[in-house]
Amino acid sequence: MAMRPIPGSLRTVVQRCVFVLLLASASPARRRLLEQAAIPHRVRVSGVDESTIHDRDPRALVQQLAFAKASAVQSCLEPSVDAEITAVLGCDSVFVFEGEVFGKPADAKEAIDRWQRMAGGSGELLTGHCLVADGQGATMACVSTVVQFAALRLGEIEAYVASGEPLNCAGGFALEGRGGLLIRGLSGCYSNVIGLSLPWLRDVLPLTTEGLGRSSQ
């Protein structure tokens, strides 16, 4: 499933932003979303050990992880090097299926086992967002999208897992890749499934009056 093009009006808005965003993530998919939306940004990996952060509530967990990543990068900013940076963005995603949290599959066997359970069903992709803006503290949210999967034969599942794509994704699928063929529908934000809700980001970024047609706050 190909990425939907960013509307021209939104592209005009973000090109007139009065900031440079620092993405605290190693995710190529999140970086591509920012690039396609023409949002000025840099990338710096947080180095946060995710295995040390726990919470039984997946919504709270992804927000804690996003906050930890954004805070770690923000605390290391150097005025002489990072003067152009006005906001740091941290994100983290998990997939919840039948009450169980699915991160990245440990191996191909686990990916196949999960897909046999998920095929024909639906689950919830949760992405925690944390934006630390210059002088404004942290703005946090958990954005949810329901993902409906196609009914699949074992051979189809095995072929997809053999591609290697599921092993690098929360939930074991990539909407923007080969996994897009295996998804029947979505309820909620499309880009959130890829790892970053652009509608949420648009709402919280400091945009100019000219871009939005409203007074900046």
The whole-angstrom distance between residue 160's C-alpha and the CA centroid of its chain comes to 22
Q: 17: which residues sit within 8 A by CB, 6+ positions away? A: 39, 40, 205, 206, 207, 208, 211
Element (H, E) at 125: strand 122-133
For the beta carbon of residue 203, count every other beta carbon within 10 angstroms: 11
Tell me how far apart the alpha carbons of residues 52 and 50 are, in angstroms, rounded to a whole number: 5
Quick check: 93 and 125 in contact, CB under 8 A? yes
The catalytic residue among 55, 82, 92, 134 is 92
Quick check: 7 and 204 in contact, CB under 8 A? no
For the beta carbon of residue 11, count every other beta carbon within 10 angstroms: 14
Site of tokens 């152009």: 84
- Our answer to whether residue 92 is catalytic in this structure is yes
User: Among 39, 42, 44, 18, which residue's Cα sits nearest to residue 199?
Assistant: 39
Quick check: 144 and 188 in contact, CB under 8 A? yes
Quick check: 165 and 175 in contact, CB under 8 A? no
Q: Which residues are catalytic?
A: 92
